[in-house]
């Protein structure tokens, strides 16, 4: 009988999450992901992955992919992910991800993937020219998680649809093969800033692909750059409202308040209460000071780690070995369930 227990031998619930090594990490990655990951380490068994297989669904320059992979891992660590307490590795090192993704490609239905909004956004108008990998991106993501039978997955709000697909795949696999094998994952979408928006347009997500540098705060920005970007952030002509309802239909104000709340570990309601009635210039000065205080140590730790590629490689090597160890028994069972010869 296959068991749904997924807690390994630690007795803790297993968490899996990942981010792509495709360019500068920014405030959205920190507040929407890494910061929440670091929090979960205390009472979960955590696996954090740099998803380089996902990155190549859009072409990546091979000359810089390795350094971007180290840099992403450095950002996790700088944000508080502790390689002594969790598994930190890059996806391409554990071939089980690709193998399980193939099996899931045969479980998932074309129609399911056709509904994924991230594919529609990333492929744009020219769908015929998108890579096949971009289309089946979500089956690889399901494999990432289920290869470890992880049941809790902290992500930003934009990944919710992919996690629903992961549940559908787990359920269909279990049904098709008549087993009770894969757990149904719970998305963990927490924090006051699960969706950090562009500083230039409160309706657009903060993104590394935005052509305007002023739209985002990179985790490599120094103090002066952070200050200038906040000073220049778009706002409306109103004041800071004294309650959250007052942020309705004011996307730029809502975004800055959410960023302040997340950086200071307060609720948006508390921030509104504190700053209600004040103008944006006053609020931006406070936000700048807060951002510099919180991000300063992260930026400098990231720089230190970036300058030590040998150390980063040793962390990722050790992580890959542990990840392989955890995944192999799961994969072996999957092969047996599917009926492959020679397991």
Phi then psi for 201, rounded to 5 degrees? -155, 105
Q: Which of 257, 256, 251, 293 is nearest to 274 (CA)?
A: 257
Query: Which of 233, 331 has the CB closer to ligand TRP?
Result: 331
- Between CA 302 and CA 73 the distance in angstroms is 9
Catalytic residue, chosen from 12, 172, 204, 208, is: 208
Pairing of β 186-188 and β 45-50:
unpaired
> Is 122 labeled as catalytic in the residue annotation?
yes
> Is 12 labeled as catalytic in the residue annotation?
no
Q: Which of 145, 230, 256, 291 binds ligand TRP (CB under 6 A)?
A: 145
Q: Which of 14, 26, 35, 54 binds ligand TRP (CB under 6 A)?
A: 54
Query: Which of 208, 250 has the CB closer to ligand TRP?
Result: 208
Minimum Å gap between C-beta 69 and ligand TRP is: 14
Minimum Å gap between C-beta 203 and ligand TRP is: 20
> Is 172 labeled as catalytic in the residue annotation?
no
Query: Which of 20, 68 has the CB closer to ligand TRP?
Result: 20
Please list the residues that pair with 12 across neighbouring strands.
none
Alpha helices in the chain (DSSP H): 27-29, 35-40, 52-55, 62-78, 96-105, 110-114, 117-123, 132-135, 137-146, 160-177, 223-231, 251-264, 268-275, 280-306, 309-338
- Is position 187 an interface residue for ligand TRP (rule: CB under 6 A)? no
- Is position 20 an interface residue for ligand TRP (rule: CB under 6 A)? yes
Please give the size of the binding site for ligand TRP, defined by CB under 6 A: 14
**Is the four-CA dihedral 302, 219, 239, 266 of positive or negative sign?**
negative
SS3 188: strand
Minimum Å gap between C-beta 154 and ligand TRP is: 8
- Is position 92 an interface residue for ligand TRP (rule: CB under 6 A)? no
Q: Which of 45, 52, 71, 144 binds ligand TRP (CB under 6 A)?
A: 144
SS3 191: coil
Catalytic residue, chosen from 122, 172, 204, 306, is: 122
Structure tokens given for 336: 């047996």
- Is position 73 an interface residue for ligand TRP (rule: CB under 6 A)? no
Please list the residues that pair with 45 across neighbouring strands.
14
Minimum Å gap between C-beta 92 and ligand TRP is: 12
**Catalytic residue list:** 122, 205, 208
Applying CB under 6 A, the residues found at the interface with ligand TRP are: 16-20, 51, 54, 141, 144-145, 153, 155, 159, 162
């Amino acid at each position: 009988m296959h068991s749904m227990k997924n807690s390994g031998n630690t007795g803790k619930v297993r968490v899996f999450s990942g981010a792509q090594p495709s360019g500068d990490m920014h405030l959205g990655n920190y507040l929407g992901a890494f910061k929440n990951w670091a929090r979960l380490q205390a009472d979960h068994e955590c696996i954090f992955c740099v998803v380089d297989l996902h990155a190549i669904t859009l072409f990546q320059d091979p000359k810089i992919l390795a350094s971007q992979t180290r840099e992403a891992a450095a950002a996790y660590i700088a944000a508080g992910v502790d390689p002594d307490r969790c598994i930190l590795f890059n996806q391409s090192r554990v071939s089980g991800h690709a193998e399980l993704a193939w099996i899931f490609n045969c479980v998932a239905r074309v129609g399911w993937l056709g509904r994924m909004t991230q594919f529609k956004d990333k492929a744009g108008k020219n769908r015929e020219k998108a890579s096949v990998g971009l289309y089946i991106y979500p089956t690889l993501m399901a494999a990432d998680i289920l290869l470890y039978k992880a049941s809790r997955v902290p992500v930003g709000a934009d990944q919710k649809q992919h996690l629903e697909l992961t549940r559908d795949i787990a359920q269909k696999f279990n049904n098709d093969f008549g087993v009770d094998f894969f757990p149904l994952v719970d998305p963990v979408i927490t924090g006051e800033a699960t969706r950090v928006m562009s500083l230039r347009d409160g309706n657009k997500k903060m993104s590394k692909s935005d052509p305007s540098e002023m739209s985002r705060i990179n985790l490599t920005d120094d103090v002066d750059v952070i200050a200038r970007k906040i000073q220049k952030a778009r706002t409306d002509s109103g004041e800071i409202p004294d309650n959250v309802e007052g942020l309705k239909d004011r996307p730029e104000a809502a975004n800055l308040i959410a960023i302040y709340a997340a950086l200071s570990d307060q609720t948006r309601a508390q921030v509104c209460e504190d700053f209600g009635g004040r103008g944006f210039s006053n609020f931006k000065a406070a936000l700048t000071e807060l951002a510099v205080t919180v991000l300063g140590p992260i930026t400098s730790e990231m720089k230190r780690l970036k300058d030590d590629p040998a150390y980063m490689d040793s962390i990722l090597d050790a992580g890959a070995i542990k990840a392989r160890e955890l995944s192999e028994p799961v994969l072996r069972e999957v092969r047996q369930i599917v009926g492959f010869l020679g397991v």
